[in-house]
Structure 1
Amino acid sequence: MPVADTVVLGENVVIYHPDLANLYGCKIGDGTRVGTFVEIQSDVEIGANCKIQSHCFICSGVTIEDGVFVGHGVMFTNDRYPRAINDDGSLQSAADWTCLPTRVSKGASIGSNATILPDLVIGQYALVAAGAVVTRSVPDHAIVAGNPARIVGSTSPSQRTPA
C-alpha cells in the first residue's frame, strides 16, 4: 500500500519511492524526507526537516519533533505487553490494549537498527547509538548505547565526548 489519502504532507516533503512505503493516517512536516520500505502508522506526527531512512517502522503513538534523524531499520513499539490473543483465546482488538506514546525531541538522532520501547522521551539533540535498545527516557544531549541503552557521553558542545 503506498501513501494513503489520510496522510497530511507538508510542503516539500520527499517520499523517495511512494510505491515502496506504507503511510496512513499520519502527519509529516515541511521538508521531511522519507526513505523506501518505511511504514508510518496512523496518529504519528513527524515534524519539519526530518530524515527517516529506509526500512523504519514508526507505529501509532509516536511523535517526532523537528530536525530529527531516524537511521535505517529503526523500530518503534507502542505496547509493553504485546499479545495476539486474550486469556480466553480470542483475538485481541484495539480495545484490549493501550497505545503508549513516545516522543523524539527536536534535533535528536537515532542510529540504524535501534529499537525504541514505548512510554518514553528521547531528549533534544540526544544521540541513540546504532543497535541500542532504548527502555527508558533519554536526557537532552545524552549519547546512549547498548542493550539496555545507557548514557555513554554527551552531544553538548561544552561537554562533547566520543560515543
Structure 2
Amino acid sequence: MIADDVFIHESAYVDDFVEIGAGTKIWHFVHVLPRTRIGERCILGQNVMAGPDVVIGDGCKIQNNVALYRGIRLEQDVFCGPSCVFTNVLTPRAHVERKDEFVETPVGRGATIGANSTVICGNRLGAYCMVAAGAVVTKDVPEHALVAGIPARQIGWVSRSGERLGDDLVCPRTGERYEVSDGRLRLVGAEER
C-alpha cells in the first residue's frame, strides 16, 4: 500500500508488501525491502536501505547512506544523520550465517542520531535523546540524554526541540522547563507529546 502523494525517485527500488504513508519522499538509489512500513511525511535520502521488517514512524528523516536492518523500529520524528550505522548482530563473522540472530533496536520519538555514529544493536535510544556525531552507543540511552564519545557517555540533557539545557533546565528556544527526577529528565507542567 503506497499513498497517492508519495514521491519515489526513478532510481529507487520499492519491493512488494511495503506500506508508505502520504507525503513521504524516497530519493536516489534507495531500496525498501518487503514488509517495511514507512509512515507519513518521511524523507529517505540517497542510498538508504530499509528492511525487511523495519518500522519507520511518521515524520522521520533518514539521511544519505543509512541501512536500517530487520529489528530497527523508529518511532515518529526520528532524525538519522548521514552515514550513521545500526549494527544487526553482536558478533558478526563473514563465514557464519547469523540472520536469525538480528537483535531489535528501538529508537524513541524525536531522537537524533548524529552523522557517522554507530548504534550497537539491542540498545534502546530514549525519546528526544541526541547521539553526537561519531559516537558509539554501547548501552541504552535515557530519554532527553545527550551522549558523545567512544563509547558514548552522557554529557548533558536536551529539550524536545534539541537544545542543550543549562543548569536551569530551561529550553532556550521554547522556554519549556524540565526537572530531573530519579535520573530522568521530565517536562514540568505538561505531558510529553
TM-score range, shorter chain: 0.7 to 0.9
8 Å CA contact 2:92, 2:98 repeated in 1:
no
Identify the residue that residue 18 of structure 2 maps to in structure 1: 7
Whole-angstrom CA distance in 2 between matches of 1:33 and 1:125: 19
Whole-angstrom CA distance in 1 between matches of 2:98 and 2:153: 34
Quick one: which amino acid aligns to residue 160 of structure 1?
L
1:81 aligns with 2:86: no
Whole-angstrom CA distance in 2 between matches of 1:47 and 1:161: 30
CA RMSD of aligned residues (A): 2.0
1:42 aligns with 2:52: yes
Cα 1:116–1:93 change in 2 (3 A) is closer
- List 4+ stretches of structure 1 deviating above 6 A: none
Identify the residue that residue 32 of structure 2 maps to in structure 1: 23
Q: Deviations over 1:44-103 (max 9, x none)?
A: 1000001001111111110000011111001101100112224xxxxx263xx4111001
Of the two, which has the highest radius of gyration? 2
Structure 1 portions without partners, runs of 5+ = 87-91
* Equivalent residue runs for 1:132-151 within 5 Å: 132-151=135-154
Instruction: Note the C-alpha offset of 1:2.
Output: 1.4
8 Å CA contact 2:45, 2:64 repeated in 1:
yes
Cα 1:93–1:122 change in 2 (3 A) is closer
* Count of equivalent residues: 153
User: What TM-score do you get using the length of structure 2 for normalisation?
Assistant: 0.74
Identify the residue that residue 89 of structure 1 maps to in structure 2: none
What is the aligned-residue identity percentage?
39
Cα 1:161–1:6 change in 2 (3 A) is farther
Cα 1:161–1:149 change in 2 (3 A) is farther
Higher RCO (Cα < 8 Å, 6 or more apart): 1
Whole-angstrom CA distance in 2 between matches of 1:9 and 1:54: 19
Quick one: which amino acid aligns to residue 128 of structure 2?
Y
Structure 2 portions without partners, runs of 5+ = 1-11, 168-193
* Equivalent residue runs for 1:114-133 within 5 Å: 114-133=117-136
Whole-angstrom CA distance in 1 between matches of 2:24 and 2:73: 17
